[in-house]
Amino acid sequence: MQLKISKSNDRPYLSIVQGYRDPVTKKVKHKTVQSLGYLDVLKKEFSDPVAHFKRVVEEMNKKQLEENLPVTISFDKDTLLSPGTINRKNIGYAVLSKLYHELKLHSFFTSRSQKFKSEYNLNSIVKLLVFSRILCPASKKKTYEDKERYFEKMDFSLDDLYRSLSQMVTLSVSLQRHLHQQVKKKFGREMEIVYYDVTNYYFEIDKQDELKRKGISKEHKPDPIIQMGLLMDHQGIPVSYDLFPGNMNDCETLMPVLDQVRKDYGVGRFVVVADKGINTADNIAFALAGGNGYVYSQTIRGANRELKNYVLDESGYRSIGKDFKIKSRLYPREIRVSNAQGKRSKVQIDEKQVVFYSADYARKAKADREPALLKALDLVKSPTKYNRATSCGAAKYVKNLVFDKQTGEVVTTKQKPYFDENKLREEEKFDGYYAIVTSEWYKSDEEIIDIYRGLWRIEEAFKVTKSDLETRPVYLSRNDHIQAHFLICFISLVIIRLLEQRLGNQFSVSRIVESLNKTSGSYFEENWYLFDYADEITMAIKETLGVDLNHKYLRLGEIKKILSDIKKG
């Protein structure tokens, strides 16, 4: 509230008014709280009416603030909405903003923006892209068009946004290093055990280039893909990532990522945990040469006869419960390692091999194979219905199946296709068995299995990027813009996984995102917003992070103070 001096009948008139900003015109308007009277009349009662009523207003503001007095709001019920009016805004992003500032991302991008001498604020653009990628993932154009849903000043154009993408790419390595340092400092990151995995993201285009290449798609898509290698700590927080051409083998992506981390992150010895796709002689040798360790799953069906015999030999197994057994051995294994010239030489390593059997795994293996078997039987019956792509997963169970090298269609020959019963029986022998190989021979069998099982966190992270963050399909065409897109997704993944962890891992990412999206309010009148949602997640956010998203009524000034206090923290 403030004292207003206006003219009425050419005489100064005093009144107490409440200021507020019109949401459509963005201009300040005033609502009269109390009419005081003409100045010349008031001088008969007060020696200095202006000074007196300024003190009165100051006292009224102080009293309202301290005593939280009820507020009276008047409105015109016949008020119409103007076309394009956006009255509803989100406040749930405030908790994302808190983590963004705790990670000092605002400082990082603001300082870089000055170096680029940009006319726009790079930090504002990154915030919009990150918050929207988490809460309402969409195209860059759609994200820009919906920027009014936030209480942030975003004074930049769509062209500025696209221009900024090229700048972001140049910051990828330094940003990842910055995030690692902040996570380590603020949240106590430990790097003794790290998890690595590879996935790919497809493009709904046919044209390939040096990055977008057709390869083995995790989602069985025929489109060009990009490979992403992701390194994660044991708490499930991303550490580093890199992008690779879609036709690159998974196993070839590990060394570049680890080499970057080893050079830039100042970490000591670490143990890399990965699945069998990363388990190659060169990757093992690379880890050991750097003084590091590994825990890899080992294919059994594709292993040599000696390991298969060891797995099926019942001697040495320890039963744990009714449906689980385990055994291990130290084994001097010979691997063939590539040198700088590409030639391979034999190297002997001593590793621990842990083998276990789970009845649950056996049942799962059988259930997982069932669709392929049904398809194989149909393939035998009607081979011309299928081609190389559509018979994927089933063709290995069919003998005398020939594909045209050019078209991929099934070729009719004199020898009719038939179901390979021996293939099935050989596979069934190893249902439920699992093998892990490791350099950490001094750890118990149970410890090794427990370490390996942590790999599910990185698999879950990929699911988050593909479902909640909607990283794919990718519609951008320029490679620098594509790389910036994945950088934004990486930042978003770090923030949402940190939030998940800060909330005690009680809630899934999907539930958190849903809650934050619902934590929105509509403009009512005179700078007041009415919020209509709260749940156990918003309560937990207040309790653990100190961000109160549970008020039903807030003035714009109070909202700005919440956002301002978050940035200070």
Quickly state the pLDDT bin for 113 (edges 50, 70, 90): confident
Quickly state the pLDDT bin for 342 (edges 50, 70, 90): confident
From the list 200, 228, 225, the residue with the least C-alpha distance to 213 is: 225
pTM: 0.80
Could you please report the per-residue DSSP string of 67-106?
A: HT--------TT--PPTT---EEE-THHHHHHHHHHTTHH
Classify 223 as helix, strand or coil.
Answer: coil
Could you please report the per-residue DSSP string of 104-172?
A: THHHHHHHHHHHHT-SS-HHHHHHHHHHHHHHS---HHHHHHTGGGSSS-----HHHHHHHHHHHHTTH
Per-residue pLDDT of 194-207, as tens digits, reads 999 888 777 666 66
Q: Could you tell me if 465 and 493 are in contact, meaning their C-beta atoms sit under 8 angstroms apart? A: yes
Count of beta carbons in the 10 Å neighbourhood of residue 499: 23
Classify 3 as helix, strand or coil.
Answer: strand
For residue 447, pLDDT over 60 is answered with yes
Helix, strand, coil content of the chain in percent (nearest 5):
45, 25, 35
For residue 76, pLDDT over 90 is answered with no
Q: Could you tell me if 98 and 569 are in contact, meaning their C-beta atoms sit under 8 angstroms apart? A: yes
Quickly state the pLDDT bin for 86 (edges 50, 70, 90): confident
Q: Could you tell me if 173 and 264 are in contact, meaning their C-beta atoms sit under 8 angstroms apart? A: yes
In this structure, of 44-58, 87-101, 133-147, 213-227, the range with the lowest mean pLDDT score is: 213-227
Q: Could you tell me if 518 and 60 are in contact, meaning their C-beta atoms sit under 8 angstroms apart? A: no
Per-residue pLDDT of 509-553, as tens digits, reads 999 999 999 999 998 877 788 999 999 999 999 999 999 999 998
Q: Could you tell me if 144 and 125 are in contact, meaning their C-beta atoms sit under 8 angstroms apart? A: no
Q: Who wins on pLDDT, 471 or 374?
A: 374
Give the residues across from 318 on adjacent strands. 326
Average predicted confidence (pLDDT) for the chain = 87
